[in-house]
Chain A
Amino acid sequence: MHSLSASYGAVTVLNDVNFTVSENDFIGVIGPNGGGKTTLLKIILGLLKPVKGEIVFNTELLDGNRIGYLPQMSTGDINYPVTVNDIVLSGLMIRKGIISRMTSSDKKKARMVIDELGLSEMSGSTINELSGGQMQRVFLGRAIIGDPKLLLLDEPGNFVDTTFENDFYEKLRDLNKRMAILMVSHDVGTISAHIKSFACVNRSLHYHPSHEITDEDLLAYGCPIQLVTHGAVPHTVLKHHK
């Protein structure tokens, strides 16, 4: 996948955004609420048309169908009578037409994904019988069943309880070996240590290629600051930008 340049809306949410996602990237997209993070995902997914600019996909890697998407939990009706197995299978709809029969190999694939995510016992359960962490894994299963080359995650920290958080990010690191990941998050606080680079979105986009900090950046806060962590907590401080 190559360059993305887009701006959108009567109220400009994203302005003159340029960046590239390469194979096996793990990019954290951070920024304030209303800064355009979700808009960025929607544009990549084709849910919104950019007002200006365009997205260019490297068609060899990504034929436009090979994008996995883990939305914020609120998009589905969790009281809907649908099973874990069916939800995971719905990730294949991207390849199927509207007249869709799931073949036995589709179902086998779904079983593999469900097993991989540790949900084997739940596959016949309906979605409202699961815990928050399990639900998230189901939706992750739906996102990855089609073997995407790019995985988009929209604030996965939102509905995961802290006990599952580590497992979840471990899982993402595994997946990252097979696919590029673009993860939107509220703030740096909950973001994983496995992230390789950051993109800050607040109307415009600033790309930070790697973990980084300089003295100059700390001075930019305008007052003396202290970062307080216990040694074991991984942390990343980013270069200042306007």
Chain B
Amino acid sequence: MEANIFQYDFIVKGLLGAIFASITAGLAGSYVVSKRMVFLSGGITHASFGGIGIGYFLGINPVVGAAVFGIMAALGVEYLSVKQKIREDSAIGILWAFGMAIGIIFIYLTPGYTPNLMSYLFGSILTVTNADLIALGTMSLILILYFSIFYRTILYISFDEVFARTYSSYVNLFKYFTTSLIALTIVLNIRMAGVVLVISLLTIPPNIAMLFTKIYFKIVVWSILAGFAGTATGYVISYFAGIPVGATIIFTLVIIWVIAKGISQLLMILSKRKK
């Protein structure tokens, strides 16, 4: 069988996209979920839409704009809540909507063609470029290196920041740097799942993993595997059913989560009976 360009694109983009998305989202997601930063991550995602709008308006790569906005939002929330004493969830809510507003305004102001808004809001693998894949692949590598080199430092700071300060003066540096990496991860995955849906790419896999293990390292590994299962399956289904890929991936992940929840309940009942 001769593979035409479209099939090649489908397989390579799909496979690489699924692998990189599940690695980055699994590593970042385990951190975010364990540390209860899901709402902050949602804020970062939506705020980054402002960068997409400005990117279009200025004619630069929207992903670059989104990355800048994402990191600024992450650090902005920290600044507003710690230095300005604004409640953290309120600060997130404000930057969340502000970013979306800026995005819409600048896309509206951009002369000429209207960009495909839907693909940014809900994701589309067809808009994923080779450059996007390279960026996501690089990010996978960076996150793997970062989390394996600094595993214990990151784990201990997340678990008990106050105690960590008694032995390290790098606590804030690590917090900000990790949060910035999370913001970048989210932004690069927007191409896959879209602004509205990307947060569940980070939150569902760790929640599947946490049904079966409570050990951080295992949560990361299982998140990546669960994420890959959901992303790849969703991608294939969306192709054959002709429905939007981002939504299908999230839908598949939720189904996996429901099934996993059922299995873990069953295991719990069985282990109780044994006793």
Measured between beta carbons, the chain A residues less than 8 angstroms from B160 are 71, 75-77, 90
| Contact assessment for A99 and B150 in the assembled complex, using a CB-CB cutoff below 8 Å | yes
Total residue contacts A-B, CB cutoff 8 A: 72
| A98 pairs with B166, CB closer than 8 A | no
A9 located at the interface, meaning its Cβ lies under 8 Å from any Cβ of chain B in the complex: no
Q: Mark A92-117, 1 if CB is under 8 A from B, else 0.
A: 01101011101000000000000000
Q: Which residues of B contact A83 (CB under 8 A)?
A: 215
Min CB gap B158→A, angstroms:
7
Q: How far is the CA of A33 from the CA of B162 in the complex (A)?
A: 20
Q: Does B87 contact A (CB under 8 A)?
A: no
A93-B219 in contact (CB<8A): no
Count residues of B near A (Cβ-Cβ below 8 Å).
Answer: 28
Q: Which residue of B is nearest A125, CB measured?
A: B214
B163 near A126: Cβ-Cβ < 8 Å: no
Q: How many residues of A contact B (CB 8 A)?
A: 27
Question: With A81-B219, A86-B155, A98-B168 as given contacts, are A69 and B163 in contact (CB-CB < 8 Å)?
Answer: yes
User: Which of the residues A65, A90, A102 comes within 8 Å of B163, measured between beta carbons?
Assistant: A90
State in angstroms the CA–CA spacing of A141 and B161 once bound together: 18
B167 proximal to A (CB < 8 A): yes
Closest to A143 in B: B163
Determine if A45 is an interface residue (Cβ-Cβ < 8 Å): yes
The main secondary structure of chain B at its interface with chain A is helix
Specify which chain A residues have a CB less than 8 angstroms from the CB of B170 in the assembled complex: 98
Is A62 among interface residues, defined by CB-CB distance under 8 A?
no
Query: B215 to A126, Cβ gap below 8 A?
Result: yes
Q: Give the residues in chain B near A67, CB-CB below 8 Å.
A: 166
Judge if A80 is at the interface, Cβ distance under 8 Å. Answer: yes
Interfacial chain A residues near B215, Cβ < 8 Å: 81, 83, 126
For the complex of A and B, list the 4 residue pairs with the smallest distance between their C-beta atoms, beginning with the closest: A76-B160, A75-B162, A94-B167, A126-B214
Binding site for B on A (CB under 8 A): 45-47, 65, 67, 69, 71, 75-77, 80-83, 86-87, 89-90, 93-94, 96, 98-100, 102, 126, 142
User: Which residues of B come within 8 Å of A, CB atoms?
Assistant: 34-36, 149-150, 152-153, 155-156, 158-168, 170, 174, 210, 213-216, 219
